Amino acid sequence: MRINTLLLTALAAVAIPAAASAQARPGQPKSADYQFTNVIEIPITSIKNQNRSGTCWCFSAISFLESEVIKAKGIKDPAAYPDFSEMFVVRNAYHDRAIKFVRLNGKLNMAAGSDFGDVLEVVQDYGIVPQSVFSGMNYGTELPVQGELDAVLRGYVEAVAKNPNRTLTPVWSKGFDGILDAYLGEIPAEFTVDGKTYTPESYRDAMGINPDDYISITSFTHHPFYKPFAIEVEDNWRWSPSYNLPLDEFMAVIDNAVENGYTVLWGGDVSETGFTRDGLGVLVDAKAMVTTGSDQERWVGKAEDKPAEKKAAGPAPEETVTQESRQLMFDNKQSTDDHGMHLFGTAKDQNGNKYYLIKNSWGESGAYKGIWYMSENFCKAKTLNYVVNKKAIPVEIQQKLGIVNYGKTNRSKK
């Protein structure tokens, strides 16, 4: 997803250190005002930390695929959960992006952010490996720190794209790969797991991962419903398609997935005041808060309240979301391509309002140690797209989308 100039650009979508969760902005909801009861929790792997890298798109997608394997294989013991390498995917994605960047004479976004379709393409074309085989930490830090790498890669391909000799040399891509090898490590041709030798492709197949099993879904009115289109955000550099559903069906797919034990790969906007560093994603209705009293009154009580009578403010009032309001937020840049996370369950607050359980990739930060509670309204308004197993889509919606041959017609080996 994109590291834009609002939140995840302010947060740099690269990752928020745990200490960054301390201060709330004025008007932000507070976790202390919410009492959550988890309703559905689908197994997920441990919380990871993308640290100082713009790779949320990969961390979230890898977490999603790990949960897919856990479900498909019926793994019960967390000690046996898969742990796939994010940087193996990142490394191959950067290679593919460089090729396309040069082919388009530099008219392509060459940055750290990307799209979920990027991960599916890489896994389809190159396979997958365990974290123990390829950590990507060849430059000496425990966690990703990729500002230098990103700058070097961009400078290299920009120089190649502007080549004054008109004809490119046949080795420029080898030079690019050499930079990747130096920073991230060389990709293993073969490796051994539990005494068995694999290639990245055979390991993917042994894990039962088929990228054609997954479909991206969105909901906007500037394209026809039930048809695919490439969402117009700069980090969708592969121009990966998402299928377009009306808003009610868009949300129904998420709910059907979770109710049937499937997780959802979520991408969207987190630049809102209601998306806090402390584990909340709430579509705060600022106007409603104003009409019910001052901000001071909301958070600390009325002046005449006695200290012993003060209570937690409770959940913040939220905006109503419609298909039209959602479209307007996208068109006027209120909803931007900020961040990717992993949706794995549902919860309710003390008033019975619905929330989704979200696994983030900022380490064990916030009030819930790396987990966010995203309200149904926030999800409805601020989701740009999500990826889900096609089996998790209600049959009647599958039929409307005609997705039976989606993978065969839209993704293929190079």
The domains of the chain are located at: 7-409
Distance (Å) of CA 44 to CA 47, 62, 265? 9, 11, 12
Please give the DSSP secondary-structure letter assigned to residue 278: T
Does residue 103 sit in helix, strand or coil? Answer: helix
Q: For residue 321, give the nearest of 310, 333, 335 by alpha carbon.
A: 335
Beta strands in 62-209 (DSSP E): 191-193, 196-198
Q: Which residues are registered as beta bridge partners of 348?
A: 37, 354
285, 316 in Cβ contact below 8 A? yes
pTM above 0.85, yes or no: yes
Distance (Å) of CA 57 to CA 34, 340, 392? 28, 5, 21
Q: What is the full per-residue pLDDT of the chain (414 aa) written as tens digits?
A: 543 333 333 333 434 443 344 455 667 999 999 999 999 999 999 999 999 999 999 999 999 999 999 999 999 999 999 999 999 999 999 999 999 999 999 999 999 999 999 999 999 999 999 999 999 999 999 999 999 999 999 999 999 999 888 899 999 999 999 999 999 999 999 999 999 999 999 999 999 999 999 999 999 999 999 999 999 999 999 999 999 999 999 999 999 999 999 999 999 999 999 999 999 999 999 877 554 544 334 433 454 544 444 456 799 999 999 999 999 999 999 999 999 999 999 999 999 999 999 999 999 999 999 999 999 999 999 999 999 999 999 999 999 999 874 444 344 444
- Name which CATH class applies to 7-409: alpha beta
Q: For residue 84, give the nearest of 183, 170, 208, 196 by alpha carbon.
A: 208
Does residue 402 sit in helix, strand or coil? Answer: coil
H or E stretch at 243: strand 241-244
Q: For residue 370, give the nearest of 291, 297, 277, 308 by alpha carbon.
A: 277
* Helical H segments across 262-318, by residue range: 286-291, 295-300
